[in-house]
């Protein structure tokens, strides 16, 4: 598996509706850690894409199974 790019990291956060600070709070990272990865050209750790993938899967499942469908045109 190729390392996650910063563009993929940023895109996953956008889909989740999260800021970097939200990700850091959720994972226990210092708020500057992702910026340090970017600034110093460090590879994003392998657990990050796995964690974000799980969160994206949970979001998809939530939307699929817990959010009531919107009525179609003509329905009430």
pLDDT at 67: 78
Per-run averaged pLDDT (10 residues), the chain, 76 residues: 91 96 96 95 96 96 86 75
pLDDT at 42: 94
End-to-end alpha-carbon separation of the chain, Å? 47
pLDDT at 71: 84
Q: Is the separation of the CB atoms in 23 and 13 below 8 Å?
A: yes
- If we measure between CA atoms, which residue out of 43, 31, 53, 39 comes closest to residue 5? 43
Map out the domains of the chain as residue ranges: 6-65
The model's pTM is 0.81
């Amino acid at each position: 598996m190729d390392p996650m790019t910063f563009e993929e990291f940023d895109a996953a956060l956008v889909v989740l509706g999260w800021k970097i600070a939200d990700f850091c709070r959720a994972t226990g990272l210092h708020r500057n850690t992702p910026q340090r990865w970017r600034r110093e050209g460090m590879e994003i750790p392998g657990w990050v894409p796995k964690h974000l993938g799980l969160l994206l899967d949970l979001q998809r499942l939530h939307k699929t199974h817990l959010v009531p469908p919107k009525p179609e045109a003509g329905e009430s």
